[in-house]
Copies of this chain bind each other. A is one copy, B any other.
Amino acid sequence: MAKELKNFTKRSDNYSQWYNELVAKADLAEQSAVRGCMVIKPYGYAIWEKMQRQLDDMFKATGHQNAYFPLLIPKSFLSREADHVEGFAKECAVVTHYRLKNDPEGNGVVVDPAAKLEEELIIRPTSETIIWNTFKNWIHSYRDLPLLVNQWANVFRWEMRTRMFLRTAEFLWQEGHTAHATREEAEAEARRMLDVYADFAENFMAIPVVKGVKTETERFAGALDTYTIEAMMQDGKALQSGTSHFLGQNFAKAFDVTFMNKENKPEYVWASSWGVSTRLMGALIMTHSDDNGLVLPPKLAPIQVVIVPIYKNEDDLKAISAKVEPLVAALRAKGLSVKYDDADNRRPGFKFADYEVKGVPVRLAIGAKDLANGTVELMRRDTLEKETLPFEGIEEHIVKELDDMQASLLEKARKRREERTITVDTYDEFKKRIEEGVFILAHWDGTPETEALIKEETKATIRCIPMDGDTTPGVCMVTGKPSKRRVLFARSY
């Protein structure tokens, strides 16, 4: 059983299959009976809850309040904003009836044709429309602004090809929606929330990200600008991990939301929206995990420390438990999540394998010999290195190991990204190097046509126009036309 748990496809053999196996073996999620919808299992959900709690604290610290808006959106709302309808009113779940009845022929229940809705309702693919229709009631004067609202919710987009966490028909997310008196404030808000996302990615998920602006082609439907954080997975592909949008006055105009300014004149309201989703779970898994299973940054691990007693009889176990209990209490008092696994229906070897697959950052093992010697064995999940240490002072040592591991995972990911980010000047070289799984900084002439050609020929897209880094002008690697600065290309999830 222990062997079976750890019997993974290697990342180097088939990265995609490794990912799918890991999601299953670490008990994170599974397919449901409904096409494209996953079940998030308790262990996977516990990680999501930790992320959610941290993000929610960060949103509140920046002045946002949570609220809740309806799941269903009148079909006509989608058509109000011209670009938005193109982007979202396509593959979505449509509610057409409000009643079932017993099948007259006796086969269970059937849709009651008499209960057809006058106007169909759409399960929200995103909530700009229903929220701006509501903001109309909330905003009258400049005194009502800024309005800084966030919603934690489920959304639905009928995706054809789905993958656990990365792309599912239903997913969980947060969507921030804010209203401002000026263009500058709305733009600043979109950038500020991108910074919050980058801060969260780096300091909690231990994932370094490139902050940047999306090209027109990749912009959110209805936005004037989309900002993004892009992370590199272990296979060198990019994962768009969070976006924030400057929406201009588009939704205010579509839903007729104006405010009286200080001069008592009506103006359309300026908007931003921003979101991260359960997709972040995919980023977390693919950034740190290895051929033995999940590797979790300590700050997001549901169990940070597990202690496994090794015993032959009840007396051994009693003696070990007596030694371990004060340590458990002391670690918990420091706010750490600790599990003392003295269950007798699984052998230590199975427990070791299971906690390794589940990515518990620090594992202690303690047996009768340790008791006699005043020692304990500590293993760190990222290095898999075992050390026998004095039991005395182990508490501080654990704290130090957790801090080290959090920092080390970020450093490792940053180093990998740096090594695999290259600068390329010719399209020939681009086509060759992109196969290696790298981020490429290259010059582009700024046109959607060239962007589309590169995508068509290489499957690489412009992930973003980075906010930082080299801003030297040059010439487009494809057309030779002028380029303002290098942009970031990669294949992506």
Contact = CB atoms under 8 A, between A and B. Distances in A.
A90 B120 CA distance: 18
A122 B100 contact: yes
A94 B111 CA distance: 8
A325 interface: no
A334 B76 CA distance: 50
A14 interface: no
Interface stretch (A67-75, A353-361, A394-402): A67-75
Interface in A64-96: 65-79, 85, 89-96
A90 to B, nearest CB: 6
Number of copies of this protein chain within its complex: 2
A121 B170 CA distance: 13
A163 interface: no
Contacts of A172: 68
A393 interface: no
Interface in A126-142: 130, 133-134, 137
A69 B39 contact: yes
A227 to B, nearest CB: 25
Given A67-B39, A70-B34, A76 B130 contact: no
A95 B95 contact: yes
A311 interface: no
A78 B41 contact: no
Interface string A134-153: 10010000010000010001
A45 interface: yes
B121 A34 contact: yes
Given A65-B45, A100-B89, A158-B98, A33 B78 contact: no
Interface in A96-136: 96-101, 108-109, 111, 120-123, 130, 133-134
24 contacts: A30-B134, A33-B70, A33-B130, A33-B134, A34-B70, A34-B72, A38-B70, A39-B69, A41-B67, A42-B66, A71-B71, A71-B154, A71-B156, A71-B170, A79-B108, A89-B100, A91-B99, A93-B95, A93-B98, A94-B96, A99-B158, A143-B345, A153-B154, A154-B154
Given A33-B70, A78-B100, 4 more contacts: A32-B134, A38-B70, A78-B108, A100-B122
Interface of A: 30, 32-34, 37-42, 45-46, 49, 65-79, 85, 89-101, 108-109, 111, 120-123, 130, 133-134, 137, 143, 149, 153-154, 156, 158, 170, 172, 345
